[in-house]
Structures are given as structure tokens and as C-alpha cells.
Amino acid sequence: MIGRVNHIAIAVPDLERAARRYRDVLGARVSAVQELPEHGVRVVFVEAGNTKVELLEPLGDDSPITAFLARNPDGGMHHICYEVTDIVMAVRRLSEEGARVLGDGRPRIGAHGLPVVFLHPKDFDGTLIELEEVKPEFEAS
């Protein structure tokens, strides 16, 4: 069901400082800042060859990242995102298997403008999983 790793997300207390560190110290290409009020975060994406690193900072006190940073003040890995080709089918299959989809279970639009869902970390060995729907790279002819 899952495809490649789309990105690994790291929660940070200061997005601009973290982005500068990736750009200036590691020599990475870093995207512009995006505000995603529906997810309660500000993000940048760091290009890392075959995947991306998403740096996220809370957008307001009710952001889920605020609680994460309260437990991890220096920041840390927040979630891993896998690609799927049919998110509705993936949600249905996961629900049938007993996995919990967070929120109301319906996909929302994520930072890449594509449908996403998050899966409860207790169902996946303590790791928050994001699924992002992408179009298949190769269509059958």
C-alpha cells in the first residue's frame, strides 16, 4: 500500500533559524515558508536528494506542535510521510485492519496541495505516520 518516503518531519522551536542552519551549514536547498493554518503549522521543505525534510514550527498555541515542543524543547523528529496512490482506499483498508486515522478520518489538503491523513502513533510503534496521495509515476499503457 505505501510507496516511497515523501518526507521526514522535524519539529523546531525557531523555523527561520533551523532553515538557515540547513541552508548555510549543510548547503541544502530550502523552500520558502508556508503557513498552514488548518494544520496549525508553519513549514519549510529541505531538498535531500531522494526525499525531503519538513521543518515545522507551531502556528499558535493550539498547534499540535506546541505540545510536542513542550515535551521536546530543542525539537525532534515528529512524523514520517509515505506516499499512497489512493488515500480513500488506504483509509478504508487501514480502518478495516483496526488502525486509527486521526481527526475525523477524512483526508485534508497538506503542504504540497495534496490529500493527507495522519495515523495514530500507538498503532505504528510510537511513530506518527502521515499518508499523502500522489499520482502513480507510471501509468499502464
**DSSP result, 106-141:** S-EE-TTSSEEEEE-GGGTTT-EEEEEE---SS---
Residue 139 lies in a domain: no
- Does residue 94 contact residue 102 with C-beta atoms inside 8 Å? no
Per-residue pLDDT averaged across 88-93, rounded? 96
pLDDT digits (tens, 9 = 90+) for 21-33: 999 999 999 999 9
Q: Is residue 123 part of a domain?
A: yes
User: Which of helix, strand or coil describes residue 39?
Assistant: coil
**Which domain does 25 fall in, by range?**
5-133
**Tens digit of pLDDT for each residue in 92-127?**
999 999 999 999 999 999 999 999 999 999 999 999
Catalytic residues: 130
Return the pLDDT at 141. Answer: 44
pTM of the model: 0.90
CATH number at residue 54: 3.10.180.10
- Rounded CA separation 28/10 (Å): 15
Report whether 131 contacts 116 (CB < 8 A): yes
Q: How many separate domains does the chain show? A: 1
Bridge partners of residue 116, in order along the sequence: 108, 132
